[in-house]
């Protein structure tokens, strides 16, 4: 993993080139042991995305994991002191590549679930419960096969408003242990189960299933197939769709195939993970990617408590949306001009077929410039901000196994060292240098108008970063300078 980190180089995103139509096939045709009937992937990798060395390395990595397994039952448990456990797995050689994670303040003492509900990668889970309170509902994770000896990674956490606090307060956790309240003997263990549920769902469902497979992959493929190389919207999306198919292929080899990272890190078996992906693929709703719309759908609009993570995400989305609207206005004089673009109509029709829900709800069945700006901004946000939250953004959270273990053992043991090492290595892999969003992409533009729009976007991101720099540092904050341009490995 250290070798891979040191030798990886961010991709240079090329100007689009003509490419024959690429069909979709069931994922099992490409990865026979990944049986998820509802998931389709590209039948071949686009020519300009092929990364021969990177793919061979990932295949070698997957083979080594099977032939010389890094899993060693009986190797012992991680140290009870989280700092010591981390130093053993994340060595000085790792730290010379990338700084060690910071421990969130909400993890100190009794874990502050209420703070995590509004200021963490998990802020997307809080929702109104219909009775004046709020909840995290991850009870559906109980439906899938787990490894023997583990607690079910499923939980329901209830929150109540506390007038004296800046955020809600956790009042009850329902899980395999029963119903627990603060002060109960099982509260700490129930909290660990709830944190395990969050980590499991965010990494498996929201990250790999939804961002990569259900939306990112088909969106990039539809863009390639229907918007020709010299189409203005293709040029607008090129920085954000490039390398999606090749990246998903490489990551699937390492994480999703049998004996991959997922089944050896999280509590679900390989079959359980495939079943989870199948069950949740149809639940994806593109509207949930837009932080403003998602906030409304979760019933949090006008909430009386502070929502710092939401405000952070909204600020970035505003810059992205302004960029898209400004760009579209350069190439379409009015709504009628957009309506007569046959390539866009074909692109939209394919998106409707491939993405479970949300395309028409965002753009409208007969898109105008406003709806199209909303849709494209949502796609760019998914590839840059949403992916950052669920990918690199968990770095400061998932490696503290005393608070957020990927597995909870029924006998009370700590996480085994091999499982923890695999979790650390996988998260370290997410930090590998990749193409940044704050790069001048003006060379991808069709003309001077488009080049100017890309330059203005870069300037606007820089202005937002300078505003953020004046605020106190925070583990949960997403910053423009850290964002990647696309979903790439």
Structure tokens at 333: 């004089």
3-class secondary structure, 173? strand
- Of 1, 146, 72, 102, the C-alpha closest to 417 is 72
Structure tokens at 38: 């509802």
Q: Is the dihedral of CA 294, 300, 302, 308 positive or negative?
A: negative
Q: List all residues 6 or more positions away from 74 whose beta carbon is below 8 Å from its beta carbon.
A: none
Structure tokens at 33: 């042991």
pTM for this model (two decimals) = 0.97
The domains located in the chain, with CATH, are: 2-74+203-482 (1.20.245.10)
Walk along the chain (489 residues) and give the pLDDT tens digit of each residue. Answer: 899 899 888 999 999 999 999 999 999 999 999 999 999 999 999 999 998 888 899 999 899 988 899 999 888 999 999 999 999 999 999 999 999 999 999 999 999 999 999 999 999 999 999 998 999 999 999 999 999 999 999 999 999 988 888 999 999 999 999 999 999 999 999 999 999 999 999 999 999 999 999 999 999 999 999 999 999 999 999 999 999 999 999 999 999 999 999 999 999 999 999 999 999 999 999 999 999 999 999 999 988 999 999 999 999 999 999 999 999 999 999 999 999 999 999 999 999 999 999 999 999 998 899 999 999 999 999 999 999 999 999 999 999 999 999 999 999 999 999 999 999 999 999 999 999 999 999 999 999 999 999 999 999 999 999 999 999 999 999 999 999 999 986
């Amino acid at each position: 993993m250290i070798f891979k980190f040191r030798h990886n180089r961010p991709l240079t995103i090329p100007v689009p080139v003509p490419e024959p139509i690429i069909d979709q096939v069931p994922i099992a045709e490409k990865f026979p042991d990944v049986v998820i009937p509802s998931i389709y992937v590209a039948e071949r990798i686009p020519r300009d995305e092929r990364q021969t060395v990177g793919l061979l390395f990932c295949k070698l990595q997957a083979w080594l994991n099977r032939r010389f397994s890094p899993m060693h039952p009986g190797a012992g448990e991680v140290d009870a002191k989280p700092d010591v456990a981390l130093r053993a797995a994340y060595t000085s050689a790792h730290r010379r590549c990338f700084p060690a994670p910071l421990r969130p303040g909400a993890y100190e003492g009794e874990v502050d679930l209420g703070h995590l509900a509004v200021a963490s990668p998990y802020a997307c889970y809080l929702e109104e419960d219909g009775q004046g309170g709020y909840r995290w509902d991850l009870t559906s994770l109980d439906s899938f096969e787990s490894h023997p000896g583990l607690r079910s990674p499923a939980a329901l956490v209830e929150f109540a408003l506390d007038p004296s606090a800046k955020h809600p307060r956790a009042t009850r956790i329902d899980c395999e242990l029963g119903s627990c309240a603060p002060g109960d003997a099982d509260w700490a263990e129930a909290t660990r189960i709830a944190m395990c549920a969050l980590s499991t769902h965010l990494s498996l469902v929201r990250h790999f299933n939804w961002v990569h497979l259900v939306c990112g992959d088909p969106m990039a493929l539809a863009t390639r197939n229907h918007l020709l190389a010299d189409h203005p919207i293709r040029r607008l999306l090129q920085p954000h769709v490039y390398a999606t198919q090749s990246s998903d292929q490489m990551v699937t080899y390492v994480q999703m195939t049998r004996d991959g990272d997922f089944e050896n890190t999280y509590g679900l078996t390989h079959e359980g993970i495939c079943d989870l992906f199948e069950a949740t693929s149809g639940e994806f709703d593109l509207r949930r990617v837009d932080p403003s719309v998602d906030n409304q759908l979760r019933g949090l609009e006008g909430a009386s408590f502070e929502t710092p993570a939401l405000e952070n995400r909204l600020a970035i989305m505003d810059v992205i949306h302004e960029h898209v609207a400004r760009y579209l206005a350069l190439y379409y004089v009015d709504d009628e001009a957009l309506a007569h673009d046959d390539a866009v109509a074909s692109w939209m029709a394919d998106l409707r077929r491939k993405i479970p829900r949300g395309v028409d709800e965002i753009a409208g069945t007969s898109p105008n410039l406003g709806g199209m700006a909303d849709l494209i901004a949502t796609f760019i946000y998914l590839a840059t901000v949403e992916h950052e939250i669920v990918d690199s953004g968990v770095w400061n959270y998932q490696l503290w196994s005393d608070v957020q273990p990927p597995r909870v053992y029924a006998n009370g043991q700590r996480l085994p060292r091999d499982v923890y090492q695999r979790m650390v290595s996988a998260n370290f892999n997410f930090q590998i240098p990749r193409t940044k969003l704050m790069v001048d992409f003006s060379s991808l533009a069709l003309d001077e108008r488009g080049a100017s729009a890309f330059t203005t976007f870069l300037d606007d991101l820089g202005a937002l970063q300078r505003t953020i720099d004046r605020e106190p540092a925070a583990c949960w904050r997403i910053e423009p300078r850290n964002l990647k341009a696309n979903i790439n490995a």
